[in-house]
Chain A
Amino acid sequence: MTSFLYDNFTALLRNFGVPLIGIAVFLVIWHVIAARIETSLGVMPGPVQVGQQFLNLVAEHQAERTKAAEFYQRQQERNAKMLAENPGAEVKTRSYTGRPTFFDQVLTSLITVMTGFVLAALIAIPIGIVAGLSHTLYSALNPLIQLFKQVSPLAWLPIVTILVSALYVSDDPLLEKSFITSAITVLLCCLWPTLINTSVGVANINKDLLNVSKVLRLSWLTHVRKIVLPSAIPMIFTGLRLSLGIAWMVLIAAEMLAQNPGLGKFVWDEFQNGSSNSLGRIMVAVIAIGLIGFALDRGMLSLQRAVSWDKSSALR
């Protein structure tokens, strides 16, 4: 009994205690060192100041939401009054144009990264499958893949910006140019891992299963649907997880330069702003970026578990 309790206790300690100690040690070191560094924006913020900045950002968000609610209330009352005085009056409904808060920016970032990532997956998976099935096509694509996967988002961005400006011309654009530029840059950078892993997964299907398909004389489409896709799912997901990680990293840089109103722009604006709070607010953003990246990866893992037939395979 004692040993059972002891075992449980050590397991608990290992699973939760040790990571918590790691975080605590990090915070203490941060706190001690930060207090000694004098920057142009004052003393470097420690964990406490960063926590305060987070609360400030929450408060700003709530204040902004209250203002928005009040704006809509006033607008409604005004319109109701106008209609009461003159039923034929033309009433105008405007949407609230306040400053985006930190949390609005997080949401923008998430939408942008998912747009780029989903488009990349929609392009990369079919091409990867076809390239995996055809050795010739793979040989033709491989040099291009190896070449372009090396390119940094900062190099793509100017090209994408100019092309988007040239090709996306509309008087009443549905989507912001900065959004499209950021999403396409994300797409160009996160295409490759999915493409490579899908084609490798498809090319390495168990030969016996291919023979089964041949004996049954499965049509090309059935072959892909029934044999190729399920076989390659684990590799496709490995690629997707790598791609999503890259997409999230690239996004921050892309948003900074493209001025897409997301986390990247938040960091850039705070940097330009240079108030005594800026460093703390940027650090809140850094931690948020890390946490969201982690959550995205876990999300992909759960999706993989849900989709994959091999529930026993070790997924981490």
Chain B
Amino acid sequence: MTHLELTQVAIEFPTPKGAFKALENVNLKIQKGEFVSLIGHSGCGKSTVLNIVAGLYKATTGGVILDGREVDEPGPERAVVFQNHSLLPWLTAYQNVELAVKTLFKGKKTKAEIKEWIEHNLTLVHMDHAMHKRPDEISGGMKQRVGIARALAMQPKVLLMDEPFGALDALTRAHLQDSVMEIHAHLGNTVIMITHDVDEAVLLSDRIVMMTNGPAATIGEILQVNLPRPRDRLVLAEDPHYNHCRGEVLKFLYERQRRPGEAATATKKPDAVVTPLPERPQLRIVA
């Protein structure tokens, strides 16, 4: 049985100049334990797909089914790791995770179990040494680790990550990617991750979902990454299949989905769109 299924998902946002269609005909089936990346240019609606799965946005048509039940509101079984960590700045790392754990496991775990579970998750992301520090006292990478720990502590069926490493430097990003692979191997969560980074997508994913440009963005192509796990970035650098996958994604992004006036007209978030972009052919073949 399919674990998570998106069927004919489309979404429109109201703007002063009429409805703006951000997504159309998004169909995707995800198996339990699968690691799926969504990749595409800025403003193509990747985040919107994730927000629909999270229940933060409601699809205009179509819908999402998780384990046979329709997703119609946000919930902890679909934990989100937000791009800018979204930790409560007045709480320490421990307290941030505690808020989630206490909310979800009140009455189900004893005080000692709760404490142990919080510490366990912070240890999992290698944050046990700084768990009593507040977000403004730790680095960007550490904040993101705490954000992941908070999401993991919810014991989600699906872990949703919205460009989790987008704001980090390359070295920190590599460390966190390794951590995420380690955790995925250990827990076997289903993961949907949004990324801009082709290497990141190939390294982490079982499948890469490539999105066409908006408006009315949809899934352009899905690439299966058949690399054995555990994966090592150094070994993979020489691997022909790795480079093939990388090439496929690059070709999709920079040949078939290249935007005229790249990024100049890109709009980051659909709700920031005031004037809808003019209609343009869905697939622009350059060559």
A binding-site residues for B, Cβ under 8 Å: 206, 208-209, 211-212, 214-218, 222, 226-227, 230, 309-310, 312
B86 touches A214 (CB 8 A): no
B3-11, B32-40, B98-106, B254-262: which one contacts chain A?
B98-106
A226 touches B75 (CB 8 A): no
Between-chain CB contacts (< 8 Å), 13 pairs: A211-B82, A212-B82, A212-B88, A215-B54, A215-B75, A215-B76, A216-B99, A216-B103, A217-B75, A222-B103, A226-B88, A309-B90, A312-B136
Which residues in window 134-183 of B have CB below 8 A to A? Answer: 134, 136, 154
**Quick check: is B188 within 8 A (CB to CB) of the other chain?**
no
CB distance from B117 to the nearest CB of A (A): 15
Contact partner, A209, options B55, B88, B103, B134, Cβ 8 Å: B88
Which residues in window 186-209 of B have CB below 8 A to A? Answer: none
- Report chain A residues within 8 Å CB of B75: 215, 217
A-B contact count (CB 8 A): 51
If A227-B88, A310-B89 touch, whether A214 touches B74 (CB-CB below 8 Å) is yes
The winner among B54, B82, B90 for most chain A CB atoms within 10 A is B90
The winner among B76, B103, B154 for most chain A CB atoms within 10 A is B103
**Quick check: is B78 within 8 A (CB to CB) of the other chain?**
yes
Chain A's closest residue to B85 (CB) is A208
For the side of the interface on B, what is the size category?
Answer: 20 to 34
B74 touches A208 (CB 8 A): no
A216 touches B78 (CB 8 A): no
CB distance from B23 to the nearest CB of A (A): 19
A209 touches B86 (CB 8 A): yes
A217 touches B74 (CB 8 A): yes
**Quick check: is B56 within 8 A (CB to CB) of the other chain?**
yes
- Report chain A residues within 8 Å CB of B84: 208
- Report chain B residues within 8 Å CB of A206: 86
CB distance from B69 to the nearest CB of A (A): 15
- Report chain B residues within 8 Å CB of A218: 103
A214 touches B56 (CB 8 A): yes
Bound-complex Cα distance A218 to B74 (A): 11
**Quick check: is B118 within 8 A (CB to CB) of the other chain?**
no
The winner among A206, A212, A217, A310 for most chain B CB atoms within 10 A is A212
- Report chain B residues within 8 Å CB of A208: 82, 84, 86
The winner among A214, A215, A226 for most chain B CB atoms within 10 A is A215
Bound-complex Cα distance A230 to B88 (A): 9
